[in-house]
Amino acid sequence: MQIILVIDAQGGGIGKQIIQSLKKKEYPVRITAVGTNTAATMAMLNAGADIAVTGENAVKVNARNADIIIGPIGIVIANSLYGEITPEMALAIAQSRAVRILLPINRCENIIAGVENLNLSYLIDKALEEVSKLVDTEKRLYL
């Protein structure tokens, strides 16, 4: 079973929407949520995450075991998301063997040139399209 790691900060609203969308798809995956704070963690747990934990060490440990990591692009930028992403978190995510699906959100003094301010629902739909490709590929490998 593949492990999808959803990482979010602040109030966890992006992670919550990602997890709710993943749950609707009923993929044969385990969804682990890591919040940089307890509010983000609780939002993702309430959205249906199978496991939900908080903090820097939780990011480091769970990034090692994840097959797919999903979150706003700020999760790979040290000190982003208003300082909630530590350099160690960003490094752990960047060095993970997981496929990273990053939502190009222009916030917190990080602007992705050439990317419009897209609707969050649209970005989550696009992220789930990528998850579908990866999950389907893995299913074929094990059949």
Task: Note the pLDDT of residue 115.
Answer: 72
Q: Evaluate if residue 67 carries a pLDDT over 90.
A: yes
Once rounded to an integer, what is the mean pLDDT over residues 22-31?
A: 93
Task: Please give the residue range of the domain that contains residue 115.
Answer: 2-142
Q: How many other C-beta atoms are found inside a 10 Å radius of the C-beta of residue 127?
A: 20
Percentage of the residues of the chain whose pLDDT score is greater than 70: 91
End-to-end CA distance of the chain: 13
Q: Which of 125, 72, 60, 132 is nearest to 102 (CA)?
A: 72
Q: How confident is the model at residue 119 (pLDDT cuts 50, 70, 90)?
A: confident
At 116 the pLDDT is: 75
- What CATH number should be reported for the domain holding residue 85? 3.40.50.720
Q: Is the pLDDT of residue 74 over 90?
A: yes
Question: DSSP 3-state helix, strand, coil percentages of the chain (rounded to 5)?
Answer: 50, 20, 30
**Total count of domains within the chain:** 1
Per-residue pLDDT tens digits for 39-57: 999 999 999 999 999 999 9
Asked whether the predicted pLDDT for residue 135 surpasses 70, the reply is yes
Residue 142 — very low, low, confident or very high, per pLDDT cuts 50/70/90? very low
